[in-house]
Amino acid sequence: MTSKSRSQHRSSRPAVAAFVRFVVCGGGVGLASSAVLLLLHGSMPMALANALVTVVSTLVATELHGRVSFRSGRGGWGVHLQSALTVAVSYAFTTAALLGLYAVQSSPSALTEQAVYLSASSLAGIGRFLVLRAVVFAERRPQTASSAPAPSLGKAAVAMAA
């Protein structure tokens, strides 16, 4: 193995480890959400229960992904909003996949529905991982003096200089 390929192999390890942690955290939250949804069945309308579980599980998953999956120090409502947007895009993607299936086949079998849903969900999950890793939980490098934008001069500074 050349030193370049060893370097590339080493640099892929953190991404693979983060992806494994992402799957475990997301899968764990998904299983817990499913259990809570079953517990709420009958005590409130299913659409309301699903909405509540989705909001809470997204908040919990975002915290877990930040702390465990990506080991990021970033947090706050901005991170939660960005993560929620990735959930919304994932929902739209899986819904479009199912609608596409129904357009092609009006009465698909349960097995076909699940295959399409799980495939779309897996692709959406990979997309979420990439966006969360590259954008939402990416480490921000502090600006150095040479990379910082030049300070703007206000009227007072220009007047004093004159």
The predicted-structure confidence for 129-161, as pLDDT tens digits, reads as follows 999 999 999 877 666 655 555 555 555 544 444
Where are the chain's structural domains?
Answer: 14-137
Does residue 12 surpass a pLDDT of 90?
Answer: no
Q: Which of 133, 29, 129, 30 is nearest to 74 (CA)?
A: 133
The DSSP letter of residue 72 is -
- Two tokens, residue 60: 């919990």
Interval 25-74: pLDDT, tens? 999 998 999 899 889 988 999 889 888 998 999 999 999 999 999 999 88
pTM: 0.72
Task: Supply 106's token pair.
Answer: 């009006």
**Which residues are CB-contacts of 132 (< 8 A; sequence separation ≥ 6)?**
22, 65, 69, 70, 83, 86
Q: How far apart are CA 52 and CA 47, in angstroms?
A: 9
